[in-house]
Amino acid sequence: MNKFLQIFKIKDLRRKIFIVLGLLVSFRLLAAIPIPGVDAEQLRNFLGTNQLFGFLNLFSGGGLENLSIAMLGVGPYITATIIMQLLTIIFPKFKQMYYEEGARGQAKFNQYSRMLTVPLAMLQAYGFLNLLIAQNVILRPGSFELITNVLAITAGSMVVLWLGELISEQKIGNGVSLIILAGIVSRLPQDVRLALASYSPELLPTYIGFLVVLMLIIAGVVYLNEGERKIPITYARRVRGIKLYGGVQSYLPLKVNQAGMIPLIFAISVLLFPQFIGQMISIASPEVALKVNDWIGRFLNNQFIYGTFYFALVVLFTYFYTAITFNPEEISKNLQRGGGFVPGIRPGENTAQFFASIVNRITFFGAVFLGLIAILPIIIQVVTNTPVLTVSGTALLIVVAVALETMRQINSQLTVREYEGLE
């Protein structure tokens, strides 16, 4: 509480917080401007019965539920970032740019990601509009109106990305994450109102049990996000001139969930892919497309098959993305160059194998927990048999991660100002 009050006592920090709040309000206003020809009731029913689009609405920051010009939110940028990271495996130039050229290389890498966002936003806007037209959510527009809507949605997505970067410049949290958080928080009053409207005395034990489980899930999400395995590192003593360096002990933290939200995004992309394929087929053969869409509908409506497949995809992609981002050989080489070693393990290849075995073991627990988080809404609905009593584990993961990261950045700024005060 003392630190919370201290934030508003410091003029510069107070100004940054108000700027961030103003930018978030601007985003919410942008997310409330719908594209023409939207059937609001049909859209609400469609999103309520489709878990995949409910998930995408989460990452759009709530813009999809209004079919606003910001309906894609930061989704295209997230997709572009993932594609660029995957390209680091294929092209050594991108790998060198991102990992070896420092801040300048990462700035250039992010610039390429922003450039890739534009065509991805156009493709996603066109695909979403065609899918929603097929579901009778929006009226079929003419060619000119369709092109205008695609351009407006693309421009809206780039404006949202710009707002996110302005937020990040204030160093009060990550802008993209805070925009997603704003969309999640904006839905809370509506969810609480629906839960209270459906309350009856005989459901009291169910509601109490739901709140207890919710608290346990939040604790589990915090544990997953903060959990890490600390590997002890010892640095050998080295003499340079008349000075002695090294001889200290430290540790290398290996996070339980190194992949973050990326496996969930990969998994949902795979689950969405058949629907887009069905829309492509409908252009050439409506009869075949009808059969494909019928099969997809049966798959999505079978909660057991859908949940099992979703869980397996999340676990698989957690291992996949961790293998991409964590290179034990590179870490072992850097450690050896700095004169560091793991006690009891030979430097070089043996250290790399040791890191790989540790990461594989802790990733298993992180992957399983992340998979359970992904299918949490299905589990809760089956147990409670009450549609309004549901919680998105993905949303909780985002809220907890963003809140912790924002707290760290604010604490670091407070610490800097405390040191400046001592000087």
- Kindly report the length of the chain: 423
The stretch 113-131 carries a mean pLDDT of 84
Neighbouring residues of 201: CB distance < 8 A, sequence distance ≥ 6: none
Q: Is the pLDDT of residue 364 over 80?
A: yes
CA distance 401 to 174: 11
Q: Is pLDDT at 309 greater than 70 in this prediction?
A: yes
Indicate the helix (H) or strand (E) that contains 116: helix 102-134
- Rounded to an integer, what distance in angstroms lies between the CA atom of residue 99 and that of residue 76? 23
Provide the pLDDT for residue 279. 58
Instruction: Answer with the residue of higher pLDDT: 130 or 322.
Output: 322
**DSSP line for 333-357:** HHHHHTTEE-TTS-TTHHHHHHHHH
Each residue's pLDDT tens digit, 91-120: 888 777 776 677 788 888 888 888 999 998
Q: Which structure tokens are listed for 309?
A: 């497949």
At 391 the three-state DSSP class reads coil
pLDDT at 200: 72
Task: Read off the pLDDT of each residue in 171-185 and give the average, rounded to a whole number.
Answer: 81
pLDDT tops 60 at residue 244: no
Determine if the pTM surpasses 0.95: no
| pLDDT in the model for residue 237 | 66
Phi then psi for residue 254, to 5 deg, are: -115, 115
Helix 75-90 / helix 51-59 crossing angle, nearest 10 deg: 90
Does an H or E element contain 137, and which? none
User: Over 50: is that where the pLDDT of 362 sits?
Assistant: yes
Taking the mean position of all CA atoms in its chain, how far away is CA 142? 35
pLDDT tens, position by position, 36-63: 666 666 666 666 666 566 666 666 666 6
Most confidently predicted of 23-27, 335-339, 391-395: 23-27
Question: What is the mean pLDDT of the segment spanning 139-164?
Answer: 85
| Residue 243 dihedral angles phi and psi, to the nearest 5° | -105, 145
Q: Is the pLDDT of residue 192 over 50?
A: yes
Partners of 96 in beta bridges: none
164 vs 46 pLDDT, higher one: 164
Question: Mean pLDDT, to the nearest integer, of 377-392?
Answer: 66
C-alpha count within 13 angstroms, C-beta hemisphere, residue 303? 12
Among candidates 371, 348, 404, which has minimal Cα distance to 228?
A: 404
All domains of the chain in start order, with CATH:
1-197 (1.10.3370.10), 205-391 (1.10.3370.10)
> Considering the chain, what percentage of its residues have pLDDT values greater than 90?
1
Q: Which two tokens stand for residue 232?
A: 């002890």
Query: What is the average pLDDT score of the chain?
Result: 77
User: For 53-62, 69-78, 104-113, 341-350, which range has the lowest pLDDT when averaged over its residues?
Assistant: 53-62
